């Protein structure tokens, strides 16, 4: 089972990465994150988010009164976190095609929401930086790129993985 999981994961990862590059998914993902963040940013954090066309040389800038704060987050790079997440879902033993598709879609939407939240807290963290805010910035990046794909996979596939990990009580009678 371990070798099957590893094999399916690696093949799925390679295939998804190829598709990700071929369709320039990162540009679409960046546009979706920036559009959502722009819509709610003034309400959530008091900053206006201005940007040109995502994926172009134009930079995203937060504005509040006379202050400007360039957004240094690399959203196209963050979008790559979806590749291992979806590959993990595809490799999950016993999940089935329909459940895998629903899980991958739900997890992708949650991952997108996490990235929108990271963009929304960006000006709160990066405006007047200090040691605490720097630590929070690094932590939020780590969560968005590394922890989120694995955590989402674990939480969303838990019902399927639970019996495999023998986390449910056995229904077999105990032997003496």
* 119-163 residue pLDDT tens: 999 998 888 878 887 787 787 777 777 888 999 999 999 988 887
Average pLDDT over residues 82-86: 95
Q: How many degrees, rounded to 5, is the angle at CA 70 between CA 72 and CA 28? A: 60
In terms of pLDDT, which residue wins out, 56 or 83?
83
45, two tokens: 């954090």
Q: What is the mean pLDDT of the chain?
A: 87
* 15-41 residue pLDDT tens: 999 999 999 999 999 999 999 999 999
Q: How many degrees, rounded to 5, is the angle at CA 169 between CA 165 and CA 174? A: 120
Q: Is the pTM of this model over 0.75?
A: yes
């Amino acid at each position: 089972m371990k070798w099957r999981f590893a094999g399916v994961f690696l093949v799925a990862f390679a295939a998804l990465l190829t598709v990700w590059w071929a369709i320039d998914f990162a540009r679409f993902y960046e546009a979706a994150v920036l559009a959502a963040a722009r819509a709610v940013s003034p309400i959530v954090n008091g900053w206006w988010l201005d940007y040109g066309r995502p994926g172009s040389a134009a930079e995203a800038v937060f504005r509040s009164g006379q202050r400007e704060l360039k957004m240094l987050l690399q959203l196209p790079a963050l979008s790559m976190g979806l590749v291992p997440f979806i590959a993990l879902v595809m490799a999950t033993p016993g999940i089935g095609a329909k459940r895998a598709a629903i899980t991958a879609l739900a997890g992708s939407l949650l991952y997108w929401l996490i990235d929108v939240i990271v963009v929304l807290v960006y000006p709160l963290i990066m405006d007047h930086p200090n040691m605490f805010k720097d630590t929070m910035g690094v932590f939020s990046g780590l969560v968005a790129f590394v922890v989120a794909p694995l955590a989402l996979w674990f939480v969303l596939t838990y019902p399927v993985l639970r019996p495999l990990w023998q986390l449910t009580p056995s229904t077999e009678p105990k032997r003496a």
